[in-house]
Each structure stands twice: as structure tokens, then as C-alpha cells.
Amino acid sequence: MTGADPPPSAPNPVLAAIRSRRMVRAMVDRPIERAELEQVLAAARWAPNAGNRRLHRFVVAQDALTLRVLRMVAPGMFQRPAAVVVICIDQRRAISFGMRPTAKGLYIDVGTVAQTMLLAAQSLSLGAGVVTSFSQAAVTQVLNIPGHLSPEMFVCLGYPAAIQPPGMRARVRVTWQSLTDWERFPTGGDGGS
């Protein structure tokens, strides 16, 4: 095995988007059209989620002053985005389904929503990046988020600048093979060797 991705049998736009998508850390000062932002949010609705319960909610910020304040309480927000979508967990709704507020599935759903938004942004030629380093209490205050919603991740959106700061480089080229282990169970039905 060479460690390279297998060649697709035919051009596949979804796989091409996955391979070409990057975290955008530099964005130009240009507003996003409301229709494009709504397309990203509409795509997020289709993200896989536990039991089809939709236990996440989105809070969108586009006001320039609000975005500046968010950057002050989010040390991981290097971008100067035109919009931020805050992915929140609806704790009250989760509890109504008998879930603990710390249930792993709630956080997995945040990740699937974020990835879906990133791919939607890519398809619209928008730059996007996620941020998880922020003060939840400050973000709740700045955006006047109700107490039952827990802000968990930002998806920063804007038009990418032509020149991007260097990202963190992996020391070793990562391949799907280096990330994969195949099952190693005995082949006999008796559990023997």
C-alpha cells in the first residue's frame, strides 16, 4: 500500500469538497449575503444527530461590534469573520428526552453540525473555521443567550483572504491507513485461536 488515497472511479464533488476544504484563518472585510448564510444554516439541519432529536440550536452574529466583542472573549478566534454561528446544546430539550447534560451524543452532534456547515460554506466559496476556545459565560452574556442553551462551538464564516497564515503542520504525513486498525478477532466461532 502506498498510503495515498484510492483514486475515485469518477469525479465525486463531495469527496473533492472534503479534500479541498481548509480551516480559514484570514478573511476579507466583506459581508456575507443573508441568502448564503441561510443556505449554510439550512444545510446544518441535515447533519446527522442522535435519534433525530435536533438538540442543538444556532445563534448567529453579524454585527461588527458584536463580532469584535466575541473576539475579545474567544482567544481561539483568530479570524475576523463576517458572521459567526454559535452552535448551542439545548440542555432543557436534552433533559426532556431523559439525557444527561454531559451525554457524549450531545457533543458528537455539535461536531456533525459543524462539519456540515464547513462543507456547505466550502460549496458556496465561503471560508470557514471552528473555534472552541472561548468563555461560555461571556458569550452567553454578549449574545443574550437563554440559560438553557449552552454555547459549545463557533463556526466563523467569511470570504477567505488570498494569503492564509500557515497552519499547524503535522510532523508526519497522515494517511487513512495510519489512522485505521482493522478488527482482529478470532475467525473461529468457538472463541479459540
Task: Supply the pLDDT for residue 193.
Answer: 47
What mean pLDDT comes out for the span 177-187? 78
Cβ count near 146 (within 10 Å): 12
d(CA 23, CA 114): 12
- The β-bridge relationship of strands 56-61 and 127-131 is unpaired
User: CB 73: neighbour CB atoms within 10 A?
Assistant: 15
Q: How confident is the model at residue 7 (pLDDT cuts 50, 70, 90)?
A: low
Q: How far apart are CA 76 and CA 136, in angstroms?
A: 13
Say if residues 155 and 84 touch (Cβ distance below 8 Å): yes
Selected residue with higher pLDDT from 48 and 138: 138
Sign of CA dihedral 138, 143, 149, 154: negative
- Helix (H, G, I), strand (E, B), or coil: what is residue 120? helix
Question: b vs e for 54-71, b when ≥16 Cβ sit within 10 Å of the residue's Cβ?
Answer: ebbbbbbbbeeeebebbb
Angle between helix 104-123 and helix 13-20 axes, rounded to 10 deg: 100
Domains and CATH numbers, the chain: 22-162 (3.40.109.10)
* Rg over CA atoms, the chain: 20
pLDDT tens digits along 150-161: 999 999 999 988
Number of Cβ within a 10 Å radius of residue 44: 20
148: its cell numbers: 438553557
Does 51 score more than 50 pLDDT?
A: yes
pLDDT band at residue 144 under the 50/70/90 scheme? very high
pTM, entire model? 0.82
